[in-house]
């Protein structure tokens, strides 16, 4: 019996080490072009590292049991091990500690980080409608996803005021390279704050795009818009350019 516990524990440790080697070396995320994207990826990685031993614990017992505890025929009874309460208590202590731990970090810590400080450097309006996006730049010019792209300045805290045409349906404003998203709801204005930290374009990576993430009808999949994150000077030049075109 002792031997079983030792062997299964060894198996658990080996599997956990293999799992950690895997998750600490993988790079499964697309480019992260914003402060918020890094917060999300860090939270994801932390949860993965914590998930490894939980996953391997159960898997180790499954594998060990499948190979060591066989007895075909259903005739022989196993030892009637009853729960004495100690194992259950230990299990509850560990699971409550884990759940409580992740609730604090990345839970509440991440929530507060991703919300960030109040205020914004730039305010940009976003209106969804079936099946296009309209971007309202601070200089009062509107650009739609049919003809234009979403150009954003790097290292500025941007406030998106998001809504959907009214009447229309719910859309969701999502830029995969920034990770986070917010729904566009008819009759309401929702807000999302993003600070791009690196320049990038859709041509470099298809995740640098706006994508509707809430089912909105037949054009849903193609309700997207190219995004370009540029230096501040280039952003100012872009605003002047669209103002000249619009005027």
CB-nearer residue toward another protein: 17 or 96: 96
Minimum distance of another protein from residue 141's CB (angstroms): 26
Q: 224 and 209 in contact (C-beta within 8 Å)?
A: yes
Omega before 131 within 30 of 0, i.e. cis: yes
Contact (Cβ atoms closer than 8 angstroms) between residue 186 and residue 149: no
C-beta of 98 vs 122, nearer to another protein: 98
Binding-site string for another protein from residue 60 to residue 89, where x marks contact by CB under 8 A and - marks none: -xx--xx--xxxxxxxxxxxxxxx---xx-
Cross-strand bridge partners of residue 183? 172
Q: Is 246 in the site for another protein (CB under 8 A)?
A: no
Stretch that binds another protein, among 119-127, 147-155, 173-181, 234-242 (CB under 8 A): 173-181
Site for another protein in 200-239 (CB under 8 A): 206-207, 209, 211-222
The single residue among 23, 53, 55, 116 that binds another protein, judged by CB under 8 A, is 55
- Which single residue is written with the structure tokens 């193609």? 222
With CB under 8 A as the contact rule, the residue among 10, 24, 54, 243 that binds another protein is: 54
The residue behind tokens 């917010």 is: 182
Contact 31, 207 (CB under 8 A): yes
Concatenated DSSP letters of 5-19? HHHHHHHHHHHHHHH
Structure tokens, 32: 């992260």
Taking CB under 8 A as the criterion, the residue among 167, 203, 233, 244 binding another protein is 167
Smaller CB distance to another protein: residue 124 or 213? 213
Interacting span for another protein (CB under 8 A) from 107-115, 118-126, 137-145, 232-240: 107-115
Angstrom distance (rounded) from CA 67 to CA 184: 53
Given 121, 188, 232, 243, the residue binding another protein (CB under 8 A) = 188
Residue with tokens 């959907």: 164
Q: Give the DSSP H/E element, type plus range, for residue 161.
A: strand 158-164
Q: Burial, 182: exposed, middle or buried (Cβ in 10 Å; 0-12, 13-18, 19+)?
A: middle
Q: Closer to another protein by CB, 127 or 207: give it.
A: 207
Please state the closest distance from residue 179 (CB atom) to another protein, in A.
Answer: 4
219/143 Cα distance (integer angstroms)? 19
Q: Which of 23, 122, 141, 180 forms a contact with another protein (CB under 8 A)?
A: 180
């Amino acid at each position: 019996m002792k031997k079983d516990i030792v062997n299964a524990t060894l198996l658990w440790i080996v599997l956990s080490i293999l799992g950690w080697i895997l998750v600490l070396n993988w790079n499964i995320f697309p480019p992260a072009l914003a402060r918020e994207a890094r917060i999300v990826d860090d939270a994801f990685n932390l949860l993965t590292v914590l998930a490894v031993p939980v996953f391997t614990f159960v898997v180790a017992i499954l594998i060990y049991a499948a190979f060591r505890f066989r007895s075909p025929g259903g005739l022989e009874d196993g030892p009637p091990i009853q729960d004495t309460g100690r194992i259950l208590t230990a299990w509850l202590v560990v699971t409550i500690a884990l759940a409580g731990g992740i609730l604090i970090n990345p839970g509440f810590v991440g929530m507060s980080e991703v919300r960030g400080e109040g205020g914004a450097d730039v305010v940009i309006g976003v209106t969804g409608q079936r099946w296009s996006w309209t971007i309202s730049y601070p200089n009062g010019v509107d650009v739609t996803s049919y003809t234009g792209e979403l150009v954003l300045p790097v290292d500025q805290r941007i406030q998106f005021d998001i809504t959907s045409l009214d009447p229309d349906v719910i859309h969701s404003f999502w830029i995969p390279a920034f990770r986070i998203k917010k729904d566009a709801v008819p009759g309401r204005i929702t807000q999302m704050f993003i600070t791009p930290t690196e320049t990038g374009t859709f041509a470099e990576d298809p995740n640098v795009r706006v994508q509707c993430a809430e089912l909105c009808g037949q054009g849903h999949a193609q309700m997207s818009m190219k995004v370009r994150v540029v230096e501040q000077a280039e952003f100012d030049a872009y605003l002047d350019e669209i103002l000249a075109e619009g005027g």
